[in-house]
Amino acid sequence: MAIVPPDSIVIAEMITHDFIWRGAGATCDEAREALLTAWARHRAHVVSQQPALGPTLPEARQMQQHFKIRYREYTRGAGYRDDERLV
């Protein structure tokens, strides 16, 4: 049985002070979860190297209180310039 991928993919994007974070998924929820999981891994690494930064770096569940997450949906096989679908 072949697995049929979804016709579109959702990208969640969050711009922080130093990085642009992105997550991908079939839905907004999946994309947001992927993005926040990446943030959590980054935060854990930074705090393991510099524990004093722990209180200044929000936990993943608090990130939306500090930064906006924007969602974009892209169709498989389509071509885009910025957010505009051309093909």
DSSP notation for 44-75? HHHHHH-GGGGGGS--GGGHHHHS-EEEEEEE
Residue 9: its pLDDT value, please? Answer: 93
- Secondary structure letter of residue 82 according to DSSP: T
Q: Is residue 72 pLDDT above 70, yes or no?
A: yes
Q: How confident is the model at residue 83 (pLDDT cuts 50, 70, 90)?
A: confident
